[in-house]
A and B are shown apart, each in its own frame.
Chain A
Amino acid sequence: MIMEIVRKIAGLIILFAGLMAIVLVLEQAINELGGHPDMEQKVFWPVILPVFLPVAAGFLIFGYFALQGEYSSNTEEKSEEKKTESEEA
């Protein structure tokens, strides 16, 4: 029971950390690219942003699942039963 609560709190922390990371990275990118970017900045951000944003979105979904209790023991057992049933079908 305690672990289930800890998992939900962790889900909230993940959601918050994911949003913070997106805001901070975008802010940094806009600041650097908006001014007079040097060669290093011009190479760095176009590589990082298209990669970072989808991964950050995945992190938010992970946090959402955690908050919904998807990683609690009971839910996982049900999921595994469901998975086995769908395979057998």
Chain B
Amino acid sequence: MTRRREHILFKVITASSVGTMIEWYDFYIFGTLATVISAHFFPKTDPTAAFLAVLATFAAGFIVRPFGALFFGRLGDMLGRKYTFLLTLVIMGASTFLIGCVPGYAQWGYWAPFSILILRLLQGLALGGEYGGAATYVAEHAPVGKRGFYTSFIQTTATLGLFLSLGVILLVRKSMPVETFEQWGWRIPFWISLLLVLISVYIRLKMKESPLFDKIRREGKRSAHPLKESFTQKENLKMVLLALFGAVMGQGVVWYTGQFYAQTFIQKTMHIEYEQSIYILATAFLIGTPLFILFGALSDRVGRKVIMMSGMALAILCYRPIYKEMYHLADVQRKVLLNEVRAEEAWSENVGNVSRVKVTKYYTDGTRIEEIHAPTEPTSEANPVELLSTSVILPGQQQWLLVFLVFFQLIFVAMVYGPVAAFLVELFPTRIRYTSMSLPYHIGNGIFGGLTPLIATRLVNMEVERGNGGDYYLAGLWYPMIIAGACLFCGMIFMRRDHNIAE
């Protein structure tokens, strides 16, 4: 490949990747700020219900993704890749900015959660159209035999987008008092999106249409009915189903377990203090991101199937030991209490200043636990003081062990996700590629993957309701393990090593 062609290719990758990363950023700040958003937009009568309502809204963002894939995929196959994924970027940027402007439930009543839901659905639709466009656009510029390497840059964007969202949220949070952040500061990351999207639109406007799409347009070979061609012709439909059940379904759950369930588990099950949890996740994501490129490039040499299937198999085998070890790191039953300090403090909350008792417990291994209690004396053993929140702060060595355990999951994530764009692109011909690859990708990731935190949290709750002690906290892992197992079974039997359309 000439230097000039390589230079053009990296410009294409940059334009596509930056835009896609910003879309992921937009999409993830909502999930990362779920607890704060819950307090503002949903009635506070039942905190669990409010949190579930946000998760449902979060899930709604995922569920509409396949519809976005169909709508924008069709546009992309008929009108071209460039303008379609430009449009998705604008829709995403506008909806994210507006989420940051919606007044809270206290000011707007039910209009507030309703508006949030609509904007969240628009975000999901836009994301559904974006990824297929970016992956197709890069793959159609890349030489055959190196698509795994070049499209893997697109694969890093989701993790980088999550990293960026965590970083921006942390910066904003540290730049102001916690109360200010919870009152209105959380809106800033949503407003920042507008600036990021404007920059990305400017970059993308300067790009040309994909050469392969341009060729079929000039030759008059574009599909007049991409949806019909993709999903009613048996030759294509069977490949769509194979892509979904033999690859993307398992990839989706492994991806979301490693990046999102890990976050939910660290914050809600292990009760790691918020800032420390963000540092842990962000560090692991940053170290793990180059692995996507490594496995993408490796898939050009050894094949996509072997890498993706190995990633799924490793995930199934390792999830339980990894999460068990993670839980043990914050388990006070395994620690020896050294000292306990109680202090009554005035806390600023929505209702004004209230009195709270802060209990700080120090353990021999360096762990510190901060508990916030309501300031009433216990009347009996059955009626102890109300515990409002618990934050576990791990010492350095254990913190790094947790970083490693999250990073370890990212190896599986990179194995299944790094080669998947090239795999999908190569399954379908240019004329229906955008439509055909987008749908299975977004069902696998959006539905199977996106629902992981919701279903896993519910499985853990069911285990608790049944009164099963022991490893109840691992119950949520059954969902990704079963789905990845089913996908591994289908992929190993039905996927060929060389499914490859070389145009």
| Contact of B244 with A by CB under 8 A | yes
**Which of B48, B56, B447, B490 sits near A62, CB closer than 8 Å?**
B490
- Interface members, chain B 441-482 (any A CB < 8 Å): 443, 447-448, 451, 454-455, 458, 461
Report the minimal beta-carbon distance from B446 to chain A, rounded to whole angstroms: 9
A51 touches B (CB below 8 Å): yes
**With an 8 A cutoff between CB atoms, is B221 at the interface?**
yes
Give the total of B residues in contact with A, Cβ under 8 Å. 36
CA A40 to CA B235, docked complex, whole Å: 42
Please indicate the chain A residues that have their CB under 8 angstroms from the CB of B431 in the complex: 87
Structural contact, B49 and A43, CB atoms closer than 8 A:
yes
The contact size tier of chain A is 20 to 34
Secondary structure dominating the interface of B: helix
Q: Closest B residue to A6 by CB, please name it.
A: B493
The reply to whether the CB of B489 lies closer than 8 angstroms to some CB of chain A is: yes
Give A7 to B60 CA distance when docked, in angstroms: 35
Contact B451 A51 (CB under 8 A): yes
Select one of B56, B235, B454 contacting A83, CB under 8 A: B235
Task: Indicate whether A62 sits within 8 Å of B52 (C-beta atoms), given known contacts A17-B486, A51-B447.
Answer: no
How far is the CB of A48 from the nearest CB of chain B, in Å?
A: 7
Q: Which of A58, A59, A62, A70 counts the most B-chain CB atoms under 10 A from its CB? A: A62
Taking CB atoms, residues of chain B closer than 8 Å to A66 are: 494
In the complex, the answer to whether A39 meets B46 with C-beta atoms within 8 Å is yes
User: B119 an interface residue at 8 Å Cβ cutoff?
Assistant: no
Q: Which of B53, B237, B238, B241 contacts A43 (CB 8 A)?
A: B53
Is B270 at the interface (CB under 8 A from chain A)? no
A7 touches B454 (CB 8 A): no
Residue of B nearest to A3 (CB): B493
Given A55-B443, A71-B242, 4 more A-B residue pairs with CB atoms under 8 Å apart are A43-B49, A47-B56, A58-B245, A87-B221
The interface of chain B, by Cβ under 8 A from chain A, is 46, 48-49, 52-53, 56, 59-60, 63, 221, 234-238, 241-242, 244-245, 429, 431, 443, 447-448, 451, 454-455, 458, 461, 486, 489-490, 493-494, 496, 501
